[in-house]
C-alpha cells in the first residue's frame, strides 16, 4: 500500500503516525510540509477527500490563526498556503482516503 504523510518531524503525533504507517508495511512518501508546503489547490483537494472544511484542518492555536477567527474557507486556504504552520498535522493520504491522524490511530481508517 502506498501512503503519503504530510509530516512535521518535530511533532510527536506526526512521528507516531509515521511509525504506524511503517509498522503496517506501507510504502510511505514523507512530505515535510513546512519545507515543501502543498499548494492551495492541493490543500483544497486533500480536505475535500477527507470531508473536512479548511477551518476543521486549521491549527487554531498558532499565532497566525488569530486573524482567521471569522474568515471564510477561501481566506483560510490562502493563509495555509502562505503559512503552512497553520495546517493541522499529520495528514495521511492513501488510496482509501485522507485523514488528519490525531490521534495517530486514525490512520487505520485509511489502511
User: From the candidates 5, 8, 10, 11, which is the catalytic residue?
Assistant: 11
Q: Residue 28 in contact with residue 21, Cβ under 8 Å? A: yes
11 is catalytic: yes
Contacts of residue 93, defined as CB under 8 A and 6 or more positions apart, other chains included, come to 3, 4, 5, 6, 46, 49, 110
> 85: which 3 cell numbers?
504552520
Active site residues: 11
Amino acid at each position: 500500500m502506498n501512503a503519503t504523510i504530510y509530516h512535521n518531524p518535530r511533532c510527536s503525533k506526526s512521528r507516531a503516525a509515521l511509525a504506524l504507517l511503517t509498522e503496517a508495511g506501507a510504502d510511505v512518501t514523507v512530505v515535510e510540509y513546512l519545507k515543501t508546503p502543498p499548494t492551495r489547490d492541493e490543500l483544497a483537494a486533500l480536505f475535500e477527500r477527507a470531508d473536512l472544511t479548511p477551518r476543521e484542518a486549521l491549527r487554531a492555536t498558532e499565532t497566525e490563526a488569530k486573524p482567521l477567527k471569522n474568515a471564510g474557507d477561501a481566506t483560510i486556504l490562502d493563509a495555509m498556503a502562505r503559512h503552512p504552520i497553520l495546517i493541522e498535522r499529520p495528514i495521511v493520504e492513501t488510496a482509501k482516503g485522507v485523514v488528519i491522524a490525531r490521534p495517530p490511530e486514525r490512520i487505520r481508517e485509511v489502511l
